[in-house]
Amino acid sequence: MNARETVLGRVRDALALAPRPAVAVSRDYRRGRGLPDPERLDLLVDRLVDYKAQVRTCTATETSATLAEMLAGLGARRVGIPAGLDRTWLSDWTGDLVEDRPDVPAPSLAELDAVVTASAVTCAETGTIFLDGSHDQGRRALTLVPDVHVCVVDLSQVTAGIPEAMERLVPERPTTLISGPSATSDIELERVEGVHGPRTLVVVIRTDR
């Protein structure tokens, strides 16, 4: 028996002997302010812009034209999409669409100019977008490897605070939290973008469905 097994064995023994009283965990988290749609939208846009994301708002009928305009402005030619994305969103797009598959090696996703996905829920207060790997969002690699991520957010899915957002998620699903483009700082506080994900985040907010 090595040292690791010895330590883990002692931990298991201690847990077996420890009493396990039934203690109710308080879930009385601070909730949002019940913001109406215009205020929730303004708050989200403010946070996203502060995080250096590009933001556009549109109606549901303007989705395709808006996405085509944004992708053209980014100089994208090959755009990756998850298998379940609504193709009507890209009906005005004239470039190449590449549908992602589980058997596509993650490093090859770097050859895409951009990726377009939907979203699960978004928190206005923190400017955080949640992806849960659903069919219209795809696997995690699809939104982390390409250098540009265009994410469509429905205003109806935007909550004021984090507790309300968490209540809409399925705990068993893999969740990715996005607050602006990927960025980090070194010891001298020099900002470096694109270390852990896309350097460019574009958020298209649909004000109706």
Could you tell me the pLDDT band of residue 53, with boundaries at 50, 70 and 90? very high
Six-digit token pair at 59? 């109606």
In this predicted structure, the answer to whether residue 147 has a pLDDT above a threshold of 90 is yes
In this predicted structure, the answer to whether residue 194 has a pLDDT above a threshold of 90 is no
Backbone angles phi, psi at 205, to 5 degrees: -100, 120
Average pLDDT, the chain: 91
Beta bridge partners of 200: 148
Average pLDDT over residues 19-35: 75
- For 147, the 3-state DSSP assignment is coil
In this predicted structure, the answer to whether residue 127 has a pLDDT above a threshold of 90 is yes
Whole-model pTM? 0.83
In this predicted structure, the answer to whether residue 67 has a pLDDT above a threshold of 90 is yes
**How buried is residue 132: exposed, middle or buried, by Cβ count under 10 Å (0-12/13-18/19+)?**
middle
* Domains of the chain, earliest start first: 34-206 (3.40.50.10420)
Say which residue the tokens 């749609």 belong to: 37
Residues of the chain above pLDDT 90, percent: 76
Could you tell me the pLDDT band of residue 69, with boundaries at 50, 70 and 90? very high
More confident residue, 166 or 190: 166
